[in-house]
Amino acid sequence: MTAQSVDHVSLLPLYAAAGTAVLVLLADLFFGRRVVLGALTAGGIATAVCAIVVGGSRAGTFCAPGGGACSWVPSPLAAVAAVVFAGLTVGVLGLSIPSLRLGTAPTGEFCFLLASSMTGGVVVGYAGDLITLIVGVETLTLPLYLLVGLRRFAPGEKVSTAPASASITFFLISVVSTAIALLGAALNYAATGALHLDRLLNATGPFAPVADAGVALLVIGLAFKVAAVPLHAWAPATYEGAPLPVAAYLSTASKLGGVLALAAIVARLDAAALTAVLAVLTMTVGNLVALRQTRMVRLLAWSSIAQAGYILAALALGAPGVAPAAAYAVFFVVLELIAFAVVVALRPPGADGGPLLAYRGAGRRSPWLGASLVLAFAGLAGLPPGLAGLFAKVTVVDALIDNNHGWLAGVVALNAVIGLAYYVRASALLYATPERVGIAVADPALLEAATHPRLPVSRAVGAVVVAASLVAVALGFAPQVLFDALG
């Protein structure tokens, strides 16, 4: 038997991403912070470029001798996902720069972990078998356990154990979910002998129940990663405890990884009923609980749980739902990144998201940031001016109705109404007039300006807000670009 031939060109995105991680580590050893940041930014861009160059139509590599059955499969979806992961990594790095400058986390380690996570994300997109897939998901999440807890406190700063406890929560839940997913993959393998995604088939015969149980466990294990109800309880606590940029990464990149992994499973194996139930529960519970949130990050966390429900609804269609789900996920991560970026910009460096009331009048003090946040909230609610979000909703509803899931489309649409209630409340708060104080004040606006100073926005954070907003607006006017890239 000859040695397996490996197509190194199709592996370029992986080389670029993993190389970035190594490069960052070395740069930290020999050079200063600026070089490290530059290395990660350049590496992220290189990964995206490699993914675009390799494209989605190249043959797979690491294939079984019999042909077909490859472990590394470039596809249009994989290429888009790699670009999005790279973009999110660079974006989250930009959001972290003010707090890194403050020394809340060691720059080198932070950047290395972020690059490793990006590598995992790239692998998830290209994975062609269950083992690569789960290894990819784990590589994506493993660095995040550390990133969530990685918080140094300045002398005199009030030390909080919130990041550490968030990290432990996330770690425990994640390990359990991985174990469940692995058990599912193992059961399915035992029953059908298939590990490669393109050999996965719905089992028949005496082992069918074992295979079905395996599929169900696999879906449940991965559903933890997208924080689907009832497997969601870790998400709000973890987001709230994590540093803001890391929370942004969790709710975008980490969620996207889970979606891709789920999509790979449900496209081949029948898990429609389970996914539909998860979808209905996720969007309804997510939206209803979000209605009662009083803290910004928790609101975003619950809203992103609800958003995952819309994606799961599309995935309940099986293979026809993969493209709409992926499109929705891309629209969603862009809008979510804007929301988090604006929150970072409005808060002092290193601070948490704070209560919603802290944002009162923020849109009047910083009109551009306010406009960006309104764009993001409107998009998440699926309304103009957030055209990207509107097209995302239409895409999912279109796919559901096209595949005779009108009832699920109805649930999605009705949930959009509940969702609007809290998005509109949060948006209106940005423009609310100063609260009346008990004592007579000559100029309430002046008092508000004194108690809510307008913070300077660091250049990196500003750049992320602008770039993400521009991407959202561009996708809103030319969504066909995304549909073409995915098709």
Among 416, 460, 465, 468, binds other proteins (CB under 8 A): 416
Among 273, 401, 437, 470, binds other proteins (CB under 8 A): 401
Among 384, 437, 453, 454, binds other proteins (CB under 8 A): 384
Q: How far is the CB of 374 from other proteins (least distance, A)?
A: 8
391 contacts other proteins (rule: CB under 8 A): yes
Among 273, 394, 437, 446, binds other proteins (CB under 8 A): 394
Amino acid identity of 57?
S
CB under 8 A: which stretch of 14-22, 39-47, 157-165, 388-396 binds other proteins?
A: 388-396
Among 420, 430, 457, 467, binds other proteins (CB under 8 A): 420
Three-state DSSP string of the chain: CCCCCCCCCCCHHHHHHHHHHHHHHHHHHHCCHHHHHHHHHHHHHHHHHHHHHHCCCCCCEEECCCCCCEEECCCHHHHHHHHHHHHHHHHHHHHHHHHHHHCCCCHHHHHHHHHHHHHHHHHHHHECEHHHHHHHHHHHHHHHHHHHHCCCCCCCCCCCCHHHHHHHHHHHHHHHHHHHHHHHHHHHHHHHCCCEHHHCCCCCCCCHHHHHHHHHHHHHHHHHHCCCCCCCCHHHHHHHHCCHHHHHHHHHHHHHHHHHHHHHHHCCCCCHHHHHHHHHHHHHHHHHHHCCCCEHHHHHHHHHHHHHHHHHHHHCCCHHHHHHHHHHHHHHHHHHHHHHHHHHHHCCCCCCCCEHHHHCCHHHHCHHHHHHHHHHHHHHHCCCCCHHHHHHHHHHHHHHHHCCCHHHHHHHHHHHHHHHHHHHHHHHHHCCCCCCCCCCCCCHHHHHHHHCCCCCCCHHHHHHHHHHHHHHHHHHHCHHHHHHHHC
Residue pair 356/295 in contact (Cβ under 8 Å)? The answer is yes
Q: Which is nearer to other proteins, 461 or 486 (CB)?
A: 486
All residues at 6 or more sequence positions from 470 whose CB lies less than 8 Å from its CB, including other chains: none
> Residues in contact with other proteins, total (CB under 8 A)?
31
Q: Which is nearer to other proteins, 72 or 377 (CB)?
A: 377
Restricted to residues 431-450, the positions that interact with other proteins (CB under 8 A) are: 431
Q: Which is nearer to other proteins, 68 or 384 (CB)?
A: 384
Q: Which is nearer to other proteins, 226 or 374 (CB)?
A: 374
Among 32, 230, 410, 456, binds other proteins (CB under 8 A): 410
Among 383, 408, 465, 472, binds other proteins (CB under 8 A): 383
CB under 8 A: which stretch of 13-21, 37-45, 167-175, 421-429 binds other proteins?
A: 421-429
Among 395, 430, 460, 469, binds other proteins (CB under 8 A): 395
- Rounded Cα distance, 455 and 366, in Å: 9
- At which residue do the structure tokens 């038997």 appear? 1
Q: Which is nearer to other proteins, 383 or 465 (CB)?
A: 383
Q: How far is the CB of 298 from other proteins (least distance, A)?
A: 21
Among 428, 441, 445, 470, binds other proteins (CB under 8 A): 428
Restricted to residues 456-485, the positions that interact with other proteins (CB under 8 A) are: 479-480, 483
- Rounded Cα distance, 341 and 335, in Å: 10
CB under 8 A: which stretch of 107-115, 136-144, 298-306, 386-394 binds other proteins?
A: 386-394
Among 339, 378, 457, 465, binds other proteins (CB under 8 A): 378
CB under 8 A: which stretch of 10-18, 64-72, 258-266, 383-391 binds other proteins?
A: 383-391
Q: Which is nearer to other proteins, 7 or 402 (CB)?
A: 402
80 contacts other proteins (rule: CB under 8 A): no
Q: How far is the CB of 401 from other proteins (least distance, A)?
A: 5
Q: Which is nearer to other proteins, 190 or 394 (CB)?
A: 394
Q: List residues binding other proteins (CB under 8 A).
A: 378, 383-385, 387, 390-391, 393-395, 397-398, 401-402, 406, 409-410, 413-414, 416-417, 420-421, 424-425, 428, 431, 479-480, 483, 487
